[in-house]
């Protein structure tokens, strides 16, 4: 299936997204964007936070959904707020059962707080070892043990070479690992770097998931097509099609900071359609896989036939 391009006929636009128009990809019902951050100046940035983008709220993101065709969403507390998950909880309240969350905590978090976060729709925690200011690699195992009874997962963001140093830790974790942004592998590392082989092995053993998010971050060729990312994306899809997720990474804070060109989210969806190749594979990534990991209600078609 060739990758469709975005249409400008209906011309919806969204803040912090290049281009205009809804994607012409046939996006299935209940499709989920698994990686979104919201920013709200009412909440202070954590000491030492380097990314401090403009406000990007729930109403802004609803405009993006008009372009990408997604209906479900996973909000992730960004590095900006440290362990302050109040903006995340606001977003979950605004979107209700169509949203889930990934929080940031440290070793001081109490069981009561974890239970409260679970009740609000949080289903995992994130450790940002690249830009985060509250977590370190030494916390991976202790925090994984804390959230395991809740059935949560551990989402990790770190430079690609880090995974090799953490091989033993990743192998013995009591929870699934979700790798952000292609595991932060550059496309040229595919098939060559040991971190790529490690992630593939964890995927095949069903101990990990990977997010095809932030193509504009990992691409070595850049906008507008990010052509070099395709082989890397397909390596994950071929290894474990039931362990791959997609996320827009809206509102693209690193692009707002000038580190990358602002991507067109309708085109990012078209890229995914090209990588998956068939409507069935696209549905698996956008609907079935997120429903399993984040505990969304079964797809509507399954509910109707059950």
Catalytic annotation, pick one of 30, 33, 249, 288: 249
3-state secondary structure the chain: CCCCCECCCCCCCCCCCCCCCCECCCCCCCCEEEEECCECCCCCCCCCCCCCCCCECHHHHHHHHHHHCCCEEEEECCHHHCCCCHHHHHHHHHHHHHEEEEECCCCCCCHHHHHHHHHHCEEEEEEECCCCCCCCHHHHHHHHHHHHHHCCEEEEECCCCHHHHCHHHHHHCCCCEEECHHHHCCHHHCCCCHHHHHHHHHHHCCCEEEEEECHHHHCCCCCCCCHHHHHHHHHHHHHCHHHEEEECCECCHHHHCCCCCCCCHHHHHHHHHHHHCCHHHHHHHHHHHHHHHHCCCCCHHHHHHC
Q: Is 40 a catalytic residue?
A: no
Residues designated as active site: 249
């Amino acid at each position: 299936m060739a990758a469709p391009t975005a249409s400008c006929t209906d011309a919806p636009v969204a803040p912090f997204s290049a281009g205009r128009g809804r994607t012409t990809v046939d996006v299935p019902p209940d499709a989920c964007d698994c990686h979104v951050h919201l920013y709200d100046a009412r909440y202070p940035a954590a000491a030492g936070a380097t990314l401090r983008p403009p406000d990007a709220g729930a109403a802004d993101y609803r405009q993006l959904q008009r372009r990408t065709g997604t209906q479900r969403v996973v909000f992730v507390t960004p590095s900006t707020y440290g362990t302050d998950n109040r903006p995340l909880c606001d977003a979950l309240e605004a979107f209700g059962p169509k949203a889930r969350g990934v929080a940031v905590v440290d070793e001081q978090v109490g069981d009561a707080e974890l239970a409260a976060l679970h009740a609000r729709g949080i289903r995992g925690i994130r450790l940002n070892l690249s830009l985060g200011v509250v977590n370190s690699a030494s916390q991976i195992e202790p925090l994984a043990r804390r959230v395991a009874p809740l059935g949560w997962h551990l989402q990790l963001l770190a430079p690609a070479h880090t995974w090799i140093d953490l091989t033993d830790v990743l192998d013995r974790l009591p929870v699934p690992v979700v790798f952000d942004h292609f595991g932060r592998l550059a496309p040229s590392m595919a098939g060559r770097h040991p971190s790529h082989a490690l992630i593939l092995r964890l995927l095949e053993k069903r101990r990990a998931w990977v997010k095809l998010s932030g193509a504009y971050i990992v691409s070595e060729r850049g906008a507008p097509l990010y052509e070099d990312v395709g082989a890397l994306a397909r390596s994950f899809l071929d290894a474990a099609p039931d362990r791959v997720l997609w996320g827009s990474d809206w509102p693209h804070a690193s692009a707002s900071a000038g580190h990358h060109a602002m991507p067109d989210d309708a085109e990012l969806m078209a890229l995914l359609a090209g990588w998956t190749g068939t409507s069935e594979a696209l549905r698996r990534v956008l609907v079935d896989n997120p429903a399993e990991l984040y505990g969304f209600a079964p797809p509507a078609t399954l509910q109707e036939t059950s």
